[in-house]
């Protein structure tokens, strides 16, 4: 009689979720501020590195 062969179930790796702050882009937009004391906001925006995921776009 042949020995019964057991099979193992293969689990697919789960893809990491995108970062909720930058939505997977790795960058966010910040308002430009002018002036040392008052820090007036302008209408201009600049892109900065997402501090939550450090630019990878993946949630930690």
58 in Cβ contact with 23 (< 8 Å): no
pLDDT at 19: 92
Residue 24: which residues within 8 A CB-CB, separation 6 or more? 18, 57, 58
DSSP 58: B
pLDDT at 46: 93
Give whole-number Cα distances, 59 to 8, 10, 13, 32, 48, in Å. Answer: 30, 25, 16, 26, 17
Structure-block tokens of residue 52: 């939550």
- Looking at the DSSP bridge assignments, the partners of residue 49 are 27
More confident residue, 5 or 37: 37
pTM, 2 dp:
0.55
pLDDT above 80: residue 60:
no
pLDDT above 80: residue 1:
no
Domain residues of the chain, as ranges?
17-60
How do residues 23-32 score in pLDDT, each as one tens digit? 989 999 999 9
Mean pLDDT value of segment 44-48: 92
């Amino acid at each position: 009689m042949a020995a019964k062969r057991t099979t193992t179930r293969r689990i697919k790796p789960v893809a990491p979720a995108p970062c909720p702050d930058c939505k997977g882009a790795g960058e966010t937009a910040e308002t430009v501020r002018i002036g040392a004391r008052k820090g007036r906001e302008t209408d201009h925006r600049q892109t900065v590195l997402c501090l939550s995921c450090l630019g990878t776009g993946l949630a930690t």
